[in-house]
Amino acid sequence: MSPESSAIRFISIKKGSIAESSRFAAFSGSISETGEAKIHIALDSVDTSIDLRNVRMRFLFFETFAHPEAVISAQIDPARLADLAALQRKQIDLPVTLSLHGVEAGLTIPVAVTLLTENRVAVATVQPVILKLADFNLTTGREKLEEAAGVTITPVGLVSMDLMFERNGAGAATVPAGTTVSGAATAMEASGDFSREACTGRFDILSQGRSVNFAPSTARLDANSRDFLNSLSDIIRRCPGMVVEIGGHTDSQGKAAWNLALSEKRAASVNRYLQQKGIPAERLVAVGYGETTPLVPNDTVQNRARNRRIEFKVLN
């Protein structure tokens, strides 16, 4: 694939009628002479043109700390394109497998294949591919985005691809794994230290992710929380000199004193883990709030789940 001549975009719809177009800036792909095709998309490269909205998409929606890439695989029968040299352009229905957010699903995508030169071919979706978020366990991520942005989001995404492949050497149209489109760094998480504003915004978004979980009624970290905390530790390192509060919160089930103690233990557990990842103890403050600061009334199972949380904020 020639990434600098290719594009992968998706459209999301909010408030019922407002369409927003975003792209992925880093991807790579190849087609072998036998028709085996594969595309790797770095989900961390999601580009909405707004820094903190990119962060929301990474941490709240795609959960890239646990699911860093999407992969599209297909087996193209060369016989189906045997007449491409004569036709120059041909539309085919292409069965593909999409691996996204821990789910693999089969899709059939109409694509147009255009022979540009003997060694250059374009492959483009004929129409946007409609992906139902529920099919890829992305419903919870959508709900988190809705809470964070204060908008409703239609539970589908419309994906389009315009890909350019070039024959490489002996014949395979390939690129090395990890090749990225030019300018991808503008969409990937910035390197170096963050400003205070950027740090504060990121900690707020990470708090909304509710990605730190514990075994029921204990302060033992869920195994799935570690990938998230590893990403968090990298952000803390890049907020030099700032002290970060780790706030533990519970719902109102049980006695208040027991909830306070549990919230303190859970905050301390996160504190210990971050120190094990190399964050200095003096940069972390663990505080337990118990049931005293609910986000929402503790009147439903869903609301109580939202109130059981770990929050992060910059103290100074």
* Interval 121-130 mean pLDDT: 96
What integer pLDDT is reported at residue 54 of this predicted model? 95
- Does pLDDT of 290 surpass 80? yes
**CATH entry 3.30.450.20 includes domain 196-314:** no
Query: Strands 156-166 and 7-14, how do they pair?
Result: antiparallel
- Does pLDDT of 68 surpass 90? yes
- Does pLDDT of 185 surpass 60? no
* Interval 60-80 mean pLDDT: 95
| Mean pLDDT rounded to a whole number for the chain | 91
Alpha carbon distance 155, 133 (integer Å): 6
Tens of pLDDT, residue by residue over 13-67, are: 999 999 999 999 999 999 988 899 999 999 999 999 999 999 999 999 999 999 9
- Topology of the domain comprising 3-186: Lipocalin (2.40.128)
Q: What percent of the chain has pLDDT over 90?
A: 83
- Does pLDDT of 182 surpass 60? no
* Interval 71-94 mean pLDDT: 94
* Interval 176-190 mean pLDDT: 48
- Does pLDDT of 168 surpass 90? no
* Interval 197-226 mean pLDDT: 93
Alpha carbon distance 156, 131 (integer Å): 5
* Interval 227-247 mean pLDDT: 94
Q: What percent of the chain has pLDDT over 70?
A: 93
What integer pLDDT is reported at residue 187 of this predicted model? 59
What integer pLDDT is reported at residue 191 of this predicted model? 75
* Interval 133-151 mean pLDDT: 95
Alpha carbon distance 166, 28 (integer Å): 13
Query: By mean pLDDT, which of 133-137, 193-197, 255-259, 266-270 is the weakest?
Result: 193-197
* Interval 275-301 mean pLDDT: 96
Domain assignments of the chain as residue spans, ordered by start: 3-186, 196-314
What integer pLDDT is reported at residue 190 of this predicted model? 62
* Interval 133-137 mean pLDDT: 97
* Interval 141-146 mean pLDDT: 95
- Does pLDDT of 181 surpass 90? no
- Does pLDDT of 189 surpass 90? no
What integer pLDDT is reported at residue 1 of this predicted model? 83
| Cut 0.85: pTM above it | yes
Domains 3-186 and 196-314 share a fold: no
